[in-house]
Structure 1
Amino acid sequence: MNVLVTSISKKVPLIEKVKDAATRDKSNFKVYVGDTFADCIGRYFSDAFWKMPLLENLHIQELIKYCKEHNIKVIFPSREGELTYFSERKEYLKMNNIYVMVSELDGLNRTQDKLEFYNFLIEKKYPVIKTRLCIDEKDTGFYVVKDRFGTGSLNLHLNVTSVEAIRVAKQLRQPIFQPYIVGTEYSIDVYVDTFGKSKGAIVRERVLVVNGESQITKTIQYKELESLAMGLAEVLGLYGHVMFQIIVDSNGNPHIIECNPRFGGASTLSIEAGLDSFYWFLLEAQGESLEKYPFIRANKELTQIRYPKDLIF
């Protein structure tokens, strides 16, 4: 019983955490990785590499054939853009004894459309950041402008006036406007089990962010945010590892910014802190209940520094 991590790129820490989870299982998993780029860095840290076709060219039968030939029973998608592909085929893959850590399509759609995300959560009385399709040049205050369906920091404009916001919005395909909030930014990792229940959460303070990714991150005990994120994951109908971005302003009020329903770049810190997402999913894929595997949070706070490292062989 082997594992495939797709769109691996240079996500070496992710591979290492999947390997850690696999080696704890008596089945002696091998970790395969896939990417459309033949010379991606991640291939050198795996047990085997698959140069995958583009998803639009990957027929489901070709995927199943590869998995069966290599005894792959578990797939971990790692890129936002491939989640819909796997979610749409999740049940058919399961019929072929292949399990994918991905949410159902309804839950994905609620998170990937930022306006739908806002409308859904505001109706549920959650403190989600106000999201609009348009603003007036006479509006005061400062704004964040981003793509309605975009991911990461691409096409993100922070702390701009209404006039500037309207100008930069013309460069985006489907822009949305949100108020710029000064505060502390947190990422919260959550694991949701096969019954739709949140098993645990780890709050991470984003100390240093470069190009939208945390370079220095530290865990922090923050019960209110833990409970908020766990409830969010359940009400949104998500599954597996999911991550929320929340800003807490100077008055202590949380503002839910977005949800990434997948494993994040700095989420390896949460695994170190006790959120055993990959191992829990491997167990669930084998039909095991997680009741015997409690969430045990690390008894001290951890700091993660992400940095480049050479491999010479």
Structure 2
Amino acid sequence: MSSPPAEPLHYRCLPRRRVERGALAIESVQPDDIEAIRQWRNAQMAILRQDRPLSPDDQRAYYAAHVWPAMAAEQPANILVSILEHGRLVGYGGLVHIHWAHRRAEISFLLDPALTTPNVRYGRYFQGFLDLIRDLAFTDLKLHKLTTESYDLRPYHLSVLDRAGFARDGVLRDHVRVDGRFVDAVAHSCLAADHRGRGASRAPGPPGHVLVTSAGAKAPLIRAVKAAARAHDPQARVIAGDVDPAAPSFCLADDGWTMPAISDATMAAILDGCAGRGVGLVIPTRDGELGLWAAWAARAAERGIHVAVSPPAAVARCLDKLAFARAGRDAGWPVIPAVERVADAGPGPLVVKERWGSGSRSVAVGLSPAAAEAHAATLSAAIVQPQVAGVEISADAWLDRQHRVHGGPDGVVLRRRERVVAGESQVTVTFRHPDHERTLAGLLESLELSGPVVAQAIVDADDRLHVIEVNPRFGGASTAGIAAGLDPFGWTLAEAAGRPLPGADGLRRPGRVHQTRLAADHVVRLPDDAP
């Protein structure tokens, strides 16, 4: 007869066997966990107070002498917990060097090395653990203060602590030697009052500071970002960034930043400026800057700054209209063909435009081959396409980091561009067409895009779809997509914070959206002595 399973081990001083929030939970460390923990410690000695690899015998002896007996104590010196995601061990940590008389303890945390990259994933687990361990420490144990000590070779780790509400208490210069060089240790702390002051409703993840670049006069975009940011964090501030010190959007945003012109030479300084302003999310809005932000996104992430941009290859493919047309057609999508020579484009009528860039100023339509040759000669890198007769439409969507359209085909909002001025929709009306929605969802996912996107297409008299281009950014009239049920900035904030995205059921609101974009006055009353 088999014996009943052993009762899980548990610290006597903890009123709850498990503290959980969403998919993550912490519970007293178990014997079955300690071998994985040993391997993780040996793989990450550079960030630990451990000077030699541990053997299995070392690990078992330590736990037998120091951990298992302490579970029966009313006031143990250390409390070690396993970190579980959907019941699977993903890390461990706890409270160490507990000083019960002064009601303080130091936080310990170590993640499975397989989960430490990319930074945003590590940040999600670390932020989640910090929320759980503070709940345990301040609610269950009634501690007053938690501290951490982290080596400064881990800038992203430090940035998560900063964003989580830990105060930097100081720097211990050249405190430890790692790989032959001395490094500083940074001390953080969090008081029970600090934790309560953050409020239970505050969302984890990047701070509520959001930078919208090339903000210009994009008033609807600024308003949409502010609404999403406030929902994410009531303390959020939206910063409008632009090279123009008098950019009109500055008066609508919480702050304005006259930024240096974006180039490879200025990006490091721009990231410094973001860090100094507490920016946790950057939303690029202009085609000309997308490639640079995509190239620098990984370096921004190392500093705790999420950039809402597609991967570099996807951005490059969309910005190069010739490459986009070739890739789309090679993959079997209904993309309008493009060539470099007028002679290869057919008899006409033809469309001639710049290969790179956006806007309609250089586009000429309805051209004969001779007229197309003449117009192409005025452009720096012309491409030629057959003109397709029909109704011009746009399609708004948002894709997650796995390049999936959130909501699937229902997450593609089609709208007719009923009045177009300078390439932008002035009057737009949403409509439904399940076949076109499915086609565009498949095309966008095949391009491996992320974040907000807007596609341009034509529907001909036979109801066939012809895709012109895809812009990997929020569109000028994409607020109509928000009115129809999309939440691109809310989803971007949630993803950057490591929070699960809301379900897509019922994503679309009933009825059609008719949007007219109008100029509007923004009036502020100032005192007589104002500058």
Which of 41, 56, 65 is equivalent to 2:263?
A: 56
User: Residues 169-180 of structure 1: matches in 2 within 5 Å?
Assistant: 169-180=376-387
Matched, 1:305 2:516: yes
- Aligned residues with identical type, % of pairs: 35
CA shift, 1:283, in A, is 0.5
Residue type matched to 1:116 in 2? Answer: A
Counterpart for residue 353 of structure 2: 146
Per the alignment, residue 107 of structure 1 pairs with 314
Of 427, 433, 444, which residue of structure 2 is paired with 1:222? Answer: 433
Report the alpha carbon displacement of residue 65 of structure 1 after superposing the two structures with TM.
2.1
TM-score of the pair, normalised by structure 1: 0.96
Q: How far apart, CA to CA, are the structure 2 residues paired with 1:72 and 1:112?
A: 27
**Contact residue 137 and residue 162 of structure 1 kept, 8 A:** no
Higher relative contact order (CA 8 A, sep 6+): 1
Q: How many residues align?
A: 313
Query: Is 1:192 matched up with 2:399?
Result: yes
Aligned counterparts, 1:234-249, within 5 A: 234-249=445-460
* 2:438 alignment partner AA: S
Query: What is the alpha-carbon distance in structure 2 between the residues aligned to residue 225 and residue 256 of structure 1?
Result: 10
Q: How has the CA–CA distance of structure 1 residues 201 and 138 changed in structure 2, closer, same or farther, with 3 Å as cutoff?
A: closer
Q: Mapping of 1:201-220 within 5 angstroms?
A: 201-220=412-431
Aligned residue runs from structure 1 range 1-313, under 5 A: 1=207, 2-26=209-233, 28-56=235-263, 59-136=266-343, 139-199=346-406, 200-292=411-503, 296-313=507-524
* Cα distance change on mapping 1:271 and 1:137 into 2, 3 Å: closer
Tell me how far 1:58 sits from its aligned partner. 5.6
* Cα distance between partner residues in 2 of 1:222 and 1:15: 30
CA contact (8 A) 1:240 1:277 kept: yes
Amino acid at match of 1:17: A
- Secondary structure at 1:198 match in 2: coil
Distance in 2, matches of 1:277 and 1:11, equals: 16
Structure with the greater alpha carbon radius of gyration? 2
Per the TM alignment, residue 64 of structure 1 is displaced from its structure 2 partner at its CA by 2.5
Give distance in 1, aligned partners of 2:292 and 2:256: 20
Deviates more, 1:27-36 or 1:285-294: 285-294
Structure 1 position 207, deviation (Å): 0.5
Whether the 8 Å contact between 1:137 and 1:166 is mirrored in structure 2 is no
Seen in structure 2, the aligned counterparts of structure 1 residues 179 and 137 have a Cα distance that, compared at 3 Å, is: closer
CA RMSD of aligned residues (A): 1.6
Contact 2:352–2:385 at 8 Å: present in 1 too? Answer: yes
Letter in 1 for 2:214: S
Displacement after TM superposition at 1:263 (Å)? 0.4
Cα 1:162–1:260 change in 2 (3 A) is same
CA contact (8 A) 2:393 2:417 kept: yes
For 1:148, the aligned partner's letter is: R
TM-score by length of 2: 0.57
CA apart distance, 1:277? 0.2
Question: Residues 243-290 of structure 1, C-alpha deviation per residue, up to 9 Å, x if partnerless?
Answer: 111101111111110010000100011011111000000001100121
Distance change >3 Å, CA 176–CA 309, structure 1 → 2:
same
User: Counterpart amino acid of 1:211?
Assistant: A
1:138/1:22 Cα in 2 relative to 1: closer, same or farther (>3 Å)?
closer
Q: Report the secondary structure of 1:9's partner residue.
A: coil
Show CA shifts across 1:190-216 (max 9, x none).
Answer: 110122111121101100011111110
Aligned equivalent of 2:528: none
Aligned residue for 1:13, secondary structure, equals helix
Which structure 2 segments of 5+ residues have no match? 1-206, 525-531
Letter in 1 for 2:368: T
Distance apart, 1:59 and its partner CA: 3.0
Report the 3-state secondary structure (helix = DSSP H, G, I; strand = E; otherwise coil) of the residue aligned with 1:181: coil
